[in-house]
Chain A
Amino acid sequence: MRPVAVIGIGKTAFGAFPDRDLRSLAVEAGQKCMQDANVSPSKVEAFYLGNFAGPSFVGQNHLAPYIAGAMGITGVPATRFEAACASSGSALFHAVSAVGAGLYDVVLVGGVEKMTSQPTPKVTEILAGAGDMCGEGRAGATFPALFAMIARRHMYQYGTTREQMAAVAVKNHLNGAKNPQAHMRKVITIEQALAGKPIADPLTVYDCSLISDGAAAVLIAPLERASEFTGKPVKILGIAQTSDQVALDQKDDITTFRAVRTAADKAYKMAGVSPNEIQFAEVHDCFTIAEIIATEDLGFVKKGEGGPYVQQGCTALNGPRPVNTSGGLKAKGHPVGATGVGQICDVVMQIRGEAGERQIARHSLGLAQNLGGSGATAVVTILGVA
């Protein structure tokens, strides 16, 4: 496979935007991205779109050509990818595979979700559809409930505490407050996080990511052509997508995501790097426990040590390995279909040195981890200076 680079990025702010529709968000991100790389719509050879539930949230199907057409991209393949909250990570994986194989040169990869036009119980029901609706879903499981059960088991097996989970929320809110595009720019305390409204015990509202609207896009091209478009190409050193059982009760051990471990193994191998070389990461903190488990599954710490790792400040902005410098899904927001590509944009911003107030000192090798459902899809991407 020939090497592939990110040549452009574009993102909307994440938040609740009652006046914006799904298409206008996706078009804004795509156009910003094409401007960033100085690429006109006529040069785009394929459009890959990640979107979880546009048909349920806003009643719109056939999203990829719908959005591509509005950006002036026609006459090329335009396809939507659905893999729950890893939808745009999956779109990226398949786009990189196609460019790597020589099928196309310039490909636009987008992700979008418009969630806030529905009341929260309806959003909760739509999100539950990423689980097994003949099993856990029928019994009344919500996504917070699935991750609450994961948290309970992690606490039971490894002594993980609610304070350690709250430390994830506090850190990510602190980072999000420095991100002008974050949904929630509000610093919180451990006490506030612990005393939040209960959602699914032991998770409070501060353990849960946000229901957001937003879109993100990246342009990719073969590394050998990257300099035609940008002075700051970022190389995709490794990328892998893997799968696992959808239902939580079909997994042997719910304190780890096997799909994340296998995707990480493949991505590390492809990149030729080891976990301890990764300088910073954007991980899928859909719930605080998910970030703790991600740091374990990605090999940053041993199994069961993710709680102390965050509590000791190791993943803080000024720590040895910053995690979720953007604010993560927790504070930046989680428009589910946009999240995977949004993470790539955040890693690329750090590598280019364009992360402003949240710019970190060591930023030449970063990782993004995108999770679908309660671990049925995982995408791990490793990016570095070209």
Chain B
Amino acid sequence: MDNPGPGNVYTETVIHAAPEQFVADAPYQLAIITLDHGGRLTGRIDGPRVQIGDAVDFAEYRNGIPFFRKKN
């Protein structure tokens, strides 16, 4: 899969009530990222929680899910 590259957080939420297949992951943070290369992508946040406007880097795909991480 393509590397979506870095971006910043357009919006986010921390999910406490998960769908059946992700119950073990909860609570987890989901965000829509505005990509520096254009367009938006929905992914998960790895590591520290992010807020709207935070810059993030693409981390990796896990089971097809794009994970992003807050920029230092």
A386 contacts chain B at the CB level, 8 A cutoff: no
A250 touching B40 by the CB < 8 A rule?
yes
A240 contacts chain B at the CB level, 8 A cutoff: no
Contact A138 B65, CB 8 Å, known A156-B52, A247-B42, A254-B11: yes
- B14-27 Cβ-contact flags toward A at 8 Å (1 or 0): 11111111110100
CB distance from B12 to the nearest CB of A (A): 6
Give B contacts to A, CB under 8 Å. 10-23, 25, 28, 30-32, 40-44, 52, 64-66
- Interface size of A by Cβ–Cβ distance < 8 Å? 33
- In this complex, which of B11, B14, B16, B20 has the most chain A Cβ atoms within 10 angstroms of its Cβ? B11
A249 touching B40 by the CB < 8 A rule?
yes
Question: For the complex, what is the distance from the CA of A122 to the CA of B65, rounded to whole Å?
Answer: 20
B65 touching A139 by the CB < 8 A rule?
yes
Contact of B30 among A124, A145, A199 (CB under 8 A): A145
Contacts of A142 in B (CB 8 A): 15, 17-19
A145 touching B13 by the CB < 8 A rule?
yes
Question: For the complex, what is the distance from the CA of A227 to the CA of B68, rounded to whole Å?
Answer: 63
A121 touching B19 by the CB < 8 A rule?
yes
Closest to B53 in A: A156
Stretch of A34-42, A66-74, A146-154, A330-338 lying at the B interface:
A146-154
Question: For the complex, what is the distance from the CA of A238 to the CA of B40, rounded to whole Å?
Answer: 36
Contacts of B21 in A (CB 8 A): 125
Question: For the complex, what is the distance from the CA of A144 to the CA of B13, rounded to whole Å?
Answer: 10
Give 6 nearest A-B pairs by CB, closest first. A148-B13, A125-B19, A121-B20, A249-B40, A149-B11, A136-B42
Contact A122 B20, CB 8 Å, known A138-B65, A142-B15: yes
Question: For the complex, what is the distance from the CA of A380 to the CA of B18, rounded to whole Å?
Answer: 31
Closest to A201 in B: B14
Contact of A139 among B14, B20, B42, B52 (CB under 8 A): B42
Question: For the complex, what is the distance from the CA of A144 to the CA of B21, rounded to whole Å?
Answer: 16
A198 contacts chain B at the CB level, 8 A cutoff: yes
CB distance from B8 to the nearest CB of A (A): 13
